[in-house]
């Protein structure tokens, strides 16, 4: 397979996050591996920001890369941190002599055999997800045209991740709404049962259900479910509970 063919396949794969059994970790590992195959660097890795607002390494082309990225995020020192903070690409063509820039990262990376380091942002407009790290075993390990390719790959991957998150969140919202709809339907049924059993109207039946739930510190939906499953005797709801009557539905 030619480099152009592999590049084309990579962009197709990075753009498709709607496949069945989408696995984000596998997706990011594939991105890292393809960077090594296509860009001439020795290693690649992806760090993304977590819910607590801190970067975390999620995918690396090797254990050597993973350990260096762990040091970066733990010590808050290195190209991926600078890239994420600024939202701009970071280049260091010669790590030798870069100790002033990165006092922890530079000597650690040199000791691991890396001589140059690069990071491109994973962002969409002002939404910053993290950074794509690229390390080389030689100085000037990433030519500028390939940096543009790396940025394009990071951009496509970022859009794919955000798209998948949007779809997942939309599905979660739909599921939550369906749960609410189902609970409301059960409540309407329970109101009818209580109204019939207590010879009251549905407003008074709702007040009884609500009063019982509040008195016993239960969810109204759970009380309604128990009434419909006959786990709760309607007579228990009829009993005085000190709860206010006539509450609005």
* Helix, strand, coil share of the chain (percent; to 5): 55, 15, 30
Question: Rounded to an integer, what distance in angstroms lies between the CA atom of residue 100 and that of residue 20?
Answer: 47
Choose the CATH number for 175-238 among 1.10.20, 1.10.10, 1.20.120, 1.25.40.
1.10.10
Q: What is the pLDDT along the chain (249 residues), one digit of tens a residue?
A: 788 888 777 777 776 655 555 667 778 888 898 999 899 999 999 998 887 788 888 888 988 999 999 999 999 999 999 999 999 999 999 999 999 999 999 999 999 999 999 999 999 887 888 999 999 999 999 999 999 999 998 998 888 778 777 767 766 666 766 777 788 889 999 999 999 999 999 889 989 998 999 899 988 989 999 999 999 988 888 775 444 444 444
Residue 39's closest CA among 129, 115, 152? Answer: 152
Question: Do the strands 43-49 and 55-60 form a parallel or antiparallel pair, or are they unpaired?
Answer: antiparallel
Predicted pLDDT of residue 247:
43
Residues 6+ apart with CB under 8 A from 75: 104, 105
* Cα gap 33→27, rounded to integer Å: 10
| Integer angstrom CA distances of residue 95 from 109, 209, 221, 243 | 8, 70, 62, 72
Spans of all domains in the chain: 3-167, 175-238
State the pLDDT at residue 246.
42
The greatest distance separating any two alpha carbons of the chain, rounded to the nearest whole angstrom, comes to 87
Using alpha carbons, select from 28, 41, 36, 29 the residue that is nearest to residue 6. 36
Please state which architecture CATH assigns to domain 3-167: 2-Layer Sandwich (3.30)
């Amino acid at each position: 397979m030619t480099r152009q063919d592999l590049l084309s396949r990579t962009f197709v794969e990075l753009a498709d996050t709607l496949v069945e059994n989408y696995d984000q970790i596998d997706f990011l590992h594939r991105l890292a591996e393809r960077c090594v195959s296509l860009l001439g660097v020795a290693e690649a890795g992806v760090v993304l920001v977590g819910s607590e607002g801190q970067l975390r390494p999620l995918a690396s082309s090797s254990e050597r890369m993973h350990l260096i990225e762990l040091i970066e995020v733990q010590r808050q020192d290195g190209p991926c941190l600078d890239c994420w903070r600024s939202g701009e690409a970071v280049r260091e063509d010669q790590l030798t002599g870069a100790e002033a820039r990165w006092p922890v990262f530079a000597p650690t990376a040199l000791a691991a055999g890396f001589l140059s380091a690069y990071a491109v942002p994973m962002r969409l407009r002002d939404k910053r997800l993290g950074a794509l790290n690229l390390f080389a075993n030689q100085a000037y390990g990433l030519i500028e045209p390939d940096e543009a390719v790396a940025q394009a790959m990071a951009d496509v991957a970022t859009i794919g991740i955000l798209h998948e998150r949007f779809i997942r969140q939309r599905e979660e919202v739909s599921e939550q709404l369906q749960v609410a709809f189902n609970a409301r339907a059960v409540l309407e049924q329970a109101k009818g049962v209580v109204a019939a059993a207590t010879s009251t109207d549905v407003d008074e039946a709702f007040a009884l259900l609500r009063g019982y739930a509040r008195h016993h510190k239960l969810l109204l939906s759970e009380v309604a479910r128990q009434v419909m499953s006959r786990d709760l005797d309607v007579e228990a709801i009829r009993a005085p509970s000190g709860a206010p009557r006539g509450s609005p539905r």
